[in-house]
Chain A
Amino acid sequence: MEPFLENVLNRAAFGYAYLDPEFKVTDFNERFNRFTIGPGSPKDQPIMALFPETIGLEAVFNDIARRKIPAFSLENINREQPGERTVFFNISFYPTETTDAPLFCLIKEVTQTAQLTQQIKQKENEILLLESLLSAQSKDITLTILGESRPIQRIRQMVEKIAHIPTTTVLLQGESGTGKSMIAKAIHYAAGGENLPFVEINCAAIPEALLESELFGYEKGAFTNAANSKAGLLEEAHGGTLFLDEISEMSPKLQAKLLSFLETRKFRRLGSVKELEVNLRLITASNRDLYDLVEKEKFREDLLFRLDVVNIELPSLKELGDDIIRLAQNFIQHFNLEFHKSIQGLTEAACGKLKNYTWPGNVRELRNVIERAMIFAENALLDVDDLQVGRSAKANTSNTPLERFQLPPEGLAFEEIERQLLLNALELSNGNQSKAAKMLRLSRDAFRYRLEKHQLL
């Protein structure tokens, strides 16, 4: 090699070698030797013995030597060095002008760049992996209406039929925990709504005034705290599905407003005169008999007629027989992914226990029972003792005094309870106010304020 070129390659930290027609090293520089495996000088050794990454490339090398291809490169080869340090390098092969050494091998260490790329790729992949796992889990749980029992088959058929009619209003009725939200999502996804909005709200969980603004949106200045305009859930759900859970808890005023929307598919944001029109599927759900509520004049009959276009009655879990086990197996798979566990299933005795229990909390309760069992289980199969149902579960979970506390039917005076708590805390802390305040998770000032209020200072 020309001294000038050799100098350039050495200064640029390249390793190089010339290979003869049998791919044996005829000449090399010191840096080339840093990446070879095995002891001894590379001189006269075949490249395959020095770089196992080149095994299988004999045909390629022949093509390069014959100038059939201009070059060949392998990038980012990982090589573990002593001390478990991994170095990365690129190795390339080029033809030369000489017949006794027709191949030129060039090596460049790229560890720093590869490490940076690895860090970026790691983050990217972790995000993609989480998204992928979430998507797979949501599909497993919400898109698959599991079960072979007749009630489940009937629901599956209904969902498939409803899915083809995009704006049908659906009313889901069933006990608490029977999976009304899951069925609502199943309808949405079965209708091809994967990329469309699915908006869900529990009417019982939000105060009336807030529910109205959440549903219909508001304009800036519509009420005291409306600093900016906000789109409501009706607008958010445009093109997709709006799921109103516990519709029975909606106030008469809002019922009227919802009825008006259902009749015209138009509404106004709070504080606006402009009518907006949206296209969505409305799914409502209730664990109370809405016809009964109509009789008691607690729910509008005209609204019920609008909502009850298609009615799906969800069975309680105890009606599902062997499907209880199928659902349990599905939850086991779900929690295997979430908890990184490898539980294979249920013992026969455990299956019997699940099938014989009455499941007042329905699927939600089953899910909780399996989740709890999966957290503590150490064997490949969940057994009877792992499954804590009913009272045994409550006994184990109701460990805190707050969870055990029950308000008596005749009620209690809140001020009396507060006074009693202050006295108890003082007694337990031997009169030390700082300790007593800490026991009640109060600041010392807040504690003293309450002592003063109850004239205990």
Chain B
Amino acid sequence: MSKSLVHQKICMLGIFAVGKTSLTRRFISGIFDDTYLSTIGVKVSQKLLAPIETTPGEFVQYNFLIWDIEGFEKSSQQLHSYLTGATGALLIADLTRPETIQSVPDMLATLSKAAPDARPVLIGNKADLISADSETSQKLKKMAKKLDLPLFLTSAKTGENVEASFNKLGLLIAT
């Protein structure tokens, strides 16, 4: 059995107040605070994932360097630099704000341009505030299908699917 430790740059992408910082804090520290504080620039945090078996007896363990990036703006020059070198990204929409879904294709295009090899996972956050069959959830599911992206409906508040979405990203990167 062999195990290697690899750093992976993971970017949190989404327009303002979709919950990027809250998801990061929930994943890294297991805490939630519903006070909204807008992020300026980028804050990088680290978390070690459980080892993933890539082939029988071969394990890889990822150290996720999570880039909590300020609210997505299509025209941002700096965003390209932030995304450079990323191997994965969570594209986050807010289930309570249908307009946040519209920016998903732009986010995906920006990511593909800056980090062509990065693996994306689509997130519908604030699932605790809305039912799984709501109109917004349905729209996001259609968007995920159209763009062929794995989708998780998460709640940074309750922790629902937060760990699972990062783990999925780990698996996507490993395979």
Contact = CB atoms under 8 A, between A and B. Distances in A.
Contacts of A57: 84-85
A60 interface: yes
Contact of B38 (A60, A125, A144): A125
Interface residues of A, number: 40
Interface string A122-144: 10011011001101100110001
Given A55-B65, A60-B85, A132-B97, A88 B41 contact: yes
A122 B37 contact: yes
A75 B84 contact: no
A419 to B, nearest CB: 54
A10 interface: no
B86 interface: yes
A125 B71 contact: yes
A29 interface: no
Contacts of B99: 132, 135-136
Interface string A336-370: 11001010110000000000000000000000000
B31 to A, nearest CB: 14
Interface in B80-99: 81-82, 84-87, 96-99
B86 to A, nearest CB: 7
Interface in B123-147: 128-131, 134-135
Nearest to A48: B7
A77 B65 CA distance: 14
A74 B158 CA distance: 33
Contacts of A344: 131
B41 A60 contact: no
A133 B84 contact: no
B175 interface: no
B41 to A, nearest CB: 2
Contacts, number: 102
A53 interface: yes
A59 B85 contact: yes
Contact of B86 (A56, A58, A135): A56
Contacts of B158: 342
Contact of A74 (B7, B17, B42): B42
Interface string B92-119: 0000111100000000000000000000
Interface in A53-72: 53, 55-60, 72
A73 B81 contact: yes
B129 A77 contact: no
Which of B85, B87, B98, B130 has most A Cβ within 10 Å?
A: B85
B113 to A, nearest CB: 15
A122 B38 contact: yes
Interface string A40-54: 000000000000110
Nearest to A140: B135
A337 B129 contact: yes
Contacts of A394: none
Nearest to A345: B131
Contacts of B44: 52-53, 77
Contacts of B26: none
Contact of B40 (A53, A78, A336, A345): A78
A121 interface: yes
Interface in A108-167: 114, 117-118, 121-122, 125-126, 128-129, 132-133, 135-136, 139-140, 144
A121 B40 contact: yes
A56 B131 contact: no
A139 B99 CA distance: 12
Interface of B: 7, 9, 16-17, 34, 36-44, 46, 65, 70-71, 78, 81-82, 84-87, 96-99, 128-131, 134-135, 155, 157-158
Interface of A: 52-53, 55-60, 72-78, 88, 114, 117-118, 121-122, 125-126, 128-129, 132-133, 135-136, 139-140, 144, 329, 333, 336-337, 340, 342, 344-345
15 contacts: A52-B44, A55-B9, A56-B65, A56-B85, A74-B42, A74-B82, A78-B42, A88-B41, A114-B41, A125-B16, A128-B16, A329-B131, A333-B131, A342-B129, A345-B131
Given A117-B40, A337-B129, 11 more contacts: A52-B44, A52-B46, A55-B65, A74-B42, A75-B81, A76-B41, A78-B40, A88-B41, A133-B97, A333-B129, A333-B134
